[in-house]
Amino acid sequence: MSGNESASETTYRFLIDKNGNWYQDGIRVRHRLTYLYNQKLLDRDDEGRYFVDEGSGRLYVKVEDTPFVVKMADFRGGDFYVRLNDETEEKLDLKNFRIDDKNVPYIKVKGGKFDARFSRPAYYELMKHAEEIGLEYFIEERGVKHVIKSE
C-alpha cells in the first residue's frame, strides 16, 4: 500500500463476515488453527482499518460488522463472562454493553480495542439475568444495577 493510498482505496485480502467467519481471497478459512492465528494477529491502524501482519507487511481485513462475536455468556462466581469466536474468555464489563438502533447487542473486548457482536444464543443467555423496572432493563452484578443502553 502506498503512503498516499486512502482507506477507500485499500485492497483487502481478508473478509470477516458478521458471524465472525474469515475469508481469504473469497475462500472461507475453515482450518481451525489458521482461523485462530488470524484472530490472534488482528490489529487496527491509526485510521481504524483492520489488518494482520505475519512479518512481511500488513494485509488488510474488511469487516462486515465486528471482528469478534460473543458465542456464549455465563454467570458464575458473581460475575458475567463471555466466550468469543477466537475461543478466548473475558469478564464482561456491563458498562460497555450496548444495543444499537437495530436491536443488536455489542460490547468492547480485548481491553476495549475491538467491538464484539453478541450471537443470539449468548444474548438470550445474558438476558435471563435482566429485570425490567419501568421502561428500562437492568442487569445486576455484585449489587450494582447496570442499565441496558440503547443507541
Q: Domain holding 131: CATH number? A: 2.30.270
The verdict on 29 and 75 lying in the same domain is no
Give the mean pLDDT of the chain.
Answer: 90
Say yes or no to pLDDT of 6 above 60.
Answer: no
| One domain, residues 41 and 96 | no
Q: Higher pLDDT residue, 103 or 64? A: 64
- Does residue 125 form part of some domain? yes
Q: pLDDT class for 39, splitting at 50, 70, 90?
A: very high
Q: Within a domain: residue 1? A: no
Strands 12-16 and 58-63: parallel
Q: Helices H, strands E: what count in the chain?
A: 2, 16
What is the domain count for the chain? 2
Domain interval for residue 16: 7-63
CA 133 to each of CA 8, 93, 125, 136: distance values in angstroms, whole numbers, following the listed order: 45, 21, 19, 6
Quick check: 84 and 119 in contact, CB under 8 A?
A: no
Residue 2, domain member (yes or no): no
57 shares its domain with 84: no
The pTM (predicted TM-score) of the whole model is: 0.86
pLDDT for the residue numbered 1: 43
Q: Are residue 47 and residue 78 in the same domain, yes or no?
A: no
Tell me the mean pLDDT in the region 32-55.
Answer: 94
pLDDT at 8: 56
Question: Looking at the structure, do residues 112 and 127 belong to the same domain, yes or no?
Answer: yes
